[in-house]
Amino acid sequence: MGDPGALRIRLPRHRLDPRFILWRTLNTFFWAVGVLGVLGTCYWYFDGVRTWLEPVLWVVGAVFLANLLCMPTYRYLVHRWETTDDAVYALSGWISREWRIVPISRIQSIDTVQGPLERALRLATIKVLTASHEGAVKIEGLDRDVARAAVERLNEAARLVPGDAT
């Protein structure tokens, strides 16, 4: 299967917590209720906009339905993460994919973020920040304890590596 020596990018080792699916579903659901609610109210009250708002409503509704049914599970199957002794590595996306690698020596700070929904579901998001905003890595939907252990580990590792080398 191809020449030896050609490279491939391997998968990060760990999946997210399965509650990620529920979290994303609820998230999408609330967004859908908000957006469709506003559009629907406009449709209901203003006659003038109905001609062009109706197809817009259908399209937005279809997109949200697809998002609600497929996206959370699909993302759960794709998203993966891993920390090694000298890097953080994460894969995310569903239709398109993104692999992000940050060497621990270049980490500037590590944040743990929990929104209200995440708190209720005992999930957490880890944000690894570097000197470049675009170089940050965000790992969403980890079990709270797993996230805490990973952050502790990363902080320990980052302490041992001198300087952010900028």
Partner 1 sequence: MSADPVHAPGPAPDPGSPVPESAVPESRDPEDTGAGPEDSDVPWQRLDIRLVWVNTAKLAASCGTGLAGFLLFPGGVLWPLLLVAAWGVVSTGRDFVRWVFTRYRVTDERVERRTGWLMREFRFVQRDRIRSVSSSAKLRHRLVALRVIHIGTGQATHVRSTFKLDALDRDASERLRRELLPDDQPDPREGETVISRIRWSWLLYNVVHIWAVLSGGLFVVSTYFSLDAVGIDLIDVLTGLYTDVRPSLWAAVGVAVGTLFVLGVGALAADFVAKHWNFELVRATGADGAGTALLTRRGLFTTHTVHRDQRRIRGVHLVEPLVWRWMRLTETKVITTGLTAGLSESADLLPRAPRDEALHVARAVFDDGRHPLEEPLVRHPPGALRRRLLWATYGPAAIAGILWWLGDTGVVATTAWRWPLYLLPVAWALAVVAYRSLGHALVGPYLVVRSGAVNRSTTVLLHGAVIGWRVHQSIFQRFGRRLSIGIPTAAGSRYYELHDAGVDQGLDFISSVNPELAAQFLTSVGEPSSTDSDATVATGSEQSVPDHSTAADDISSHR
Positions touching partner 1 (CB under 8 A) are 1-11, 13-15, 51-52, 55, 78, 80, 82-87, 89, 95-103, 106-109, 130-135, 137, 143, 145-146, 149-150, 152-153, 158, 164-166
Residue 135 sits at φ, ψ, to 5 deg, of: -85, 0
Least distance in Å: CB of 71 to partner 1? 14
Strand order in the sheet with 137-143: 107-113, 123-130, 137-143
If the CB atoms of residues 41 and 145 are measured against partner 1, the closer one turns out to be 145
If the CB atoms of residues 70 and 149 are measured against partner 1, the closer one turns out to be 149
d(CA 65, CA 100): 29
If the CB atoms of residues 15 and 127 are measured against partner 1, the closer one turns out to be 15
Least distance in Å: CB of 121 to partner 1? 16
Least distance in Å: CB of 123 to partner 1? 14
- What is the DSSP secondary-structure string of 92-133? EESSSEEEEEEEGGGEEEEEEE--HHHHHTTEEEEEEEESSG
- DSSP code at position 85: S
If the CB atoms of residues 47 and 51 are measured against partner 1, the closer one turns out to be 51
Least distance in Å: CB of 42 to partner 1? 16
d(CA 95, CA 131): 29
